[in-house]
């Protein structure tokens, strides 16, 4: 169907005075004695296009006025009579593409996000989701751009895997056969399955990413990761999009510098390319959002050790539901306190206790901590998990043994430490958490098309 995108119609002055065709869904409608007005949206822009209908020239317009109806409109584009710097389309012919009955759920101007979650197929037609998905798209493109400009190779790591890269055991099993009592043991059951051994959905592409980086130098992956953690919180989903760069010859300070540079680059890209969307979020979700992001993208992030953070948290223990001491994993309330109240900006917390972190992280000379960092941001908490990797084979084997891992499952990975091992580092950025940070949207379920969370899959 030949037609012009509404985003182009709203911006391109060359179209004024011309006859054009647009398509879209009716967002609002208003009727007066001689005239009727529709706001049409085709999804290409947050702003709608006003359609003006002269009722003396067009009869039977009732069907066009129903919210949610899809239309093709032919007409002449003119400067708006009332709104400055805007255009409207004087309709000459209207075709109904799809009628929309009065039980269309999006009748009100503003619905709660909770209600919209109950209609996932339709919520995308609201202004909020229109803006979320454009920001999501621009962020994704900017992430690729950043890495491509800086000599990184984009690699796709497997989604089905036999190894648990985070060692946390929170994986979704992949199987084609049901368990039955006829199998004498789990091993026998696994051996009868599709891969002849236990397989699962990957929680991270890191281990395979390391393989690629040990040949290509600088790589990144950008794909889905799966976590079967039963955390029913505002920032956990079972399926999320994961950006994982891996860099040969990079030590912890190098990767911290790169992570900060990348975050600033993608924030600037969204501010530049999504001005309407960002104004919308600033107005409806987080007052001062644009100013905050401008400041963040032009100032240094904070850096603090885990040990320093725990000292601060212990001094403020009356402010938390959960007390914390050295050696504990930090909860969201602690992470947010450090970034929101103490640093008041994104902060890299470094050198975590080795026992609460994954086996692959580089062991520090103190024997207690690892060269790892999490990037914590106000409003969200952790958005990046990062570390320098243990490049020494013996130390790595020792960390795996302590955790009771099956060494033979990791032979391929371990061979990297045998043949020309080099210092290297990488991180994982959760795309959805990044979107929460730049939009001010508080629940991760509202920044992904179909959220998968414990107990729900729609």
Q: Which window, 19-27, 48-56, 237-245, 288-296, contacts ligand 4AD (CB under 6 A)? A: 237-245
Scanning residues 254 to 273, which ones bind ligand 4AD (CB under 6 A)? none
Q: Which of 218, 242, 336, 354 binds ligand 4AD (CB under 6 A)?
A: 242
Taking CB under 6 A as the rule, does residue 427 contact ligand 4AD? yes
Q: Which window, 185-193, 298-306, 390-398, 421-429, contacts ligand 4AD (CB under 6 A)? A: 421-429
Shortest distance (Å) from residue 336 CB to ligand 4AD: 14
Nearer to ligand 4AD, 36 or 444 (CB): 444
Taking CB under 6 A as the rule, does residue 428 contact ligand 4AD? yes
Q: Which of 129, 147, 152, 240 binds ligand 4AD (CB under 6 A)?
A: 240
Continuous segment of H or E residues that includes residue 88? strand 87-98
Distance CA 152, CA 308 (A): 34
Taking CB under 6 A as the rule, does residue 218 contact ligand 4AD? no
Continuous segment of H or E residues that includes residue 79? strand 70-79
The length of the chain, given as a count of residues: 458
- Going from the C-alpha of 231 to that of each of 235, 333, 336, 383, 458, the distances in angstroms are 9, 15, 17, 16, 18
Q: Which window, 31-39, 146-154, 234-242, 283-291, contacts ligand 4AD (CB under 6 A)? A: 234-242
The rounded Cα 11 to chain-centroid distance in angstroms is 29
Please identify which residue in the block is written with the tokens 């990184």: 152
Shortest distance (Å) from residue 214 CB to ligand 4AD: 14
Taking CB under 6 A as the rule, does residue 208 contact ligand 4AD? no
DSSP state of 389: B
Q: Which of 39, 88, 244, 286 binds ligand 4AD (CB under 6 A)?
A: 244
Pairing type for strands 347-353 and 19-31 reads unpaired
Taking CB under 6 A as the rule, does residue 385 contact ligand 4AD? yes
Closest chain position to ligand 4AD (CB): 385
Taking CB under 6 A as the rule, does residue 430 contact ligand 4AD? yes
The pair phi, psi for residue 297, each rounded to 5°, is -80, -5
Please report, to the nearest 10 degrees, the dihedral formed by the alpha carbons of residues 262, 266, 267, 268 taken in order: 100
Shortest distance (Å) from residue 398 CB to ligand 4AD: 20
Distance CA 154, CA 139 (A): 16
Nearer to ligand 4AD, 175 or 443 (CB): 443
Pairing type for strands 153-154 and 218-226 reads parallel
Buried-state track 214-252, b at ≥16 Cβ within 10 A, e below 16: beebbbbbbeebbbeeeeeeebbbbbbbbbbbbbbebeb
Shortest distance (Å) from residue 244 CB to ligand 4AD: 4
**Binding footprint of ligand 4AD, residue count (CB under 6 A):** 24
Nearer to ligand 4AD, 47 or 242 (CB): 242
Taking CB under 6 A as the rule, does residue 227 contact ligand 4AD? yes
Please identify which residue in the block is written with the tokens 């904070």: 302
Taking CB under 6 A as the rule, does residue 383 contact ligand 4AD? yes
Nearer to ligand 4AD, 337 or 359 (CB): 359
Give the closest residue to 346 by CA, choosing from 391, 384, 310.
384
Residue pair 431/140 in contact (Cβ under 8 Å)? The answer is: yes
The pair phi, psi for residue 25, each rounded to 5°, is -110, 145
Taking CB under 6 A as the rule, does residue 136 contact ligand 4AD? no
Binding mask 151-170 for ligand 4AD (x = CB under 6 A): --------------xx----
Nearer to ligand 4AD, 116 or 444 (CB): 444
The CA-to-CA distance between both ends of the chain, in Å, stands at: 32
Shortest distance (Å) from residue 7 CB to ligand 4AD: 30
Cα angle for residues 335, 337, 343 (degrees, 5° grid): 95
Alpha helices for 274-340 (secondary structure H):
275-284, 289-298, 306-315, 332-336
Nearer to ligand 4AD, 27 or 236 (CB): 236
Sign of CA dihedral 11, 14, 19, 21: negative
Please report, to the nearest 10 degrees, the dihedral formed by the alpha carbons of residues 186, 188, 191, 193 taken in order: -70
**If DSSP codes are grouped into helix, strand and coil, which group holds residue 135?**
helix
Taking CB under 6 A as the rule, does residue 236 contact ligand 4AD? yes
Scanning residues 334 to 353, which ones bind ligand 4AD (CB under 6 A)? none
Q: Which window, 94-102, 121-129, 306-314, 377-385, contacts ligand 4AD (CB under 6 A)? A: 377-385
Distance CA 190, CA 208 (A): 23
Shortest distance (Å) from residue 230 CB to ligand 4AD: 10
Taking CB under 6 A as the rule, does residue 451 contact ligand 4AD? no
Nearer to ligand 4AD, 122 or 228 (CB): 228
Instruction: Kindly list the residues in this chain that would bind ligand 4AD in the complex (CB under 6 A).
Output: 165-166, 204, 206, 227, 229, 236-237, 240, 242, 244, 382-387, 426-430, 432-433
């Amino acid at each position: 169907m030949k037609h012009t995108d509404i985003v182009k119609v709203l911006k391109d002055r060359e179209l004024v005075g011309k006859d054009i065709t647009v398509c879209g869904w009716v967002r609002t409608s208003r009727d007066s004695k001689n005239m009727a007005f529709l706001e049409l949206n085709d999804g290409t822009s947050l702003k709608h296009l006003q359609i003006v209908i002269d009722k003396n020239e067009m009869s039977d317009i009732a069907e066009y006025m129903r919210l949610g109806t899809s239309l093709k409109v032919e007409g002449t584009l003119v400067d708006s009579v009332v709104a400055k710097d805007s255009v409207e389309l004087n309709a000459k012919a209207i075709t109904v593409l799809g009628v929309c009955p009065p039980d269309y759920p999006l009748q009100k101007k503003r619905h709660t996000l909770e209600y919209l979650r109950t209609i996932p197929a339709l919520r995308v037609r609201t202004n909020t989701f229109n803006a979320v998905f454009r920001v999501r798209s621009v962020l994704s493109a900017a992430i690729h751009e950043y890495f491509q400009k800086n000599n990184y190779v984009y690699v796709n790591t497997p989604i089905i895997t036999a190894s648990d890269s985070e060692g946390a055991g929170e994986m979704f099993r992949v199987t084609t056969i049901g368990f039955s009592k006829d199998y004498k043991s789990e091993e026998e059951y696994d051996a009868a399955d599709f891969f002849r051994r236990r397989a699962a959905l990957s929680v991270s592409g890191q281990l395979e990413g390391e393989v690629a980086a040990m040949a290509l130098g600088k790589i990144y992956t950008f794909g889905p990761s799966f976590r079967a953690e039963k955390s029913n919180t505002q920032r956990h989903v079972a399926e999320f999009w994961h950006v994982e760069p891996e860099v040969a010859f990079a030590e912890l300070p190098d990767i911290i510098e790169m992570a900060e540079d990348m975050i600033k680059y993608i924030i600037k890209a969204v501010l530049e390319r999504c001005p309407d969307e960002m104004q919308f979020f600033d107005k409806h979700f987080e007052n001062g959002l644009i100013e905050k992001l401008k400041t963040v993208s032009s100032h240094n992030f904070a850096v603090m050790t885990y040990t320093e953070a725990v000292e601060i948290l212990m001094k403020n223990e009356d402010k938390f539901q959960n007390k914390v001491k050295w050696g504990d994993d930090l909860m969201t309330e602690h992470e947010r306190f450090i970034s929101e109240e103490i640093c008041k900006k994104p902060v890299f917390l470094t050198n975590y206790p080795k026992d609460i972190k994954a086996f692959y992280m580089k062991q520090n000379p103190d024997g207690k901590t690892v060269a790892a960092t999490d990037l914590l941001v106000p409003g969200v908490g952790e958005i990046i998990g990062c570390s320098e990797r243990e490049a020494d084979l013996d130390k790595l084997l020792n960390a795996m043994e302590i955790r009771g891992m099956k060494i033979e499952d990791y032979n391929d990975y371990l061979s990297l430490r045998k043949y020309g091992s080099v210092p290297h580092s990488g991180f994982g950025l959760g795309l959805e958490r990044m979107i929460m940070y730049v939009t001010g949207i508080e629940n991760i379920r509202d920044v992904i098309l179909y959220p998968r969370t414990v107990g729900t899959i729609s």
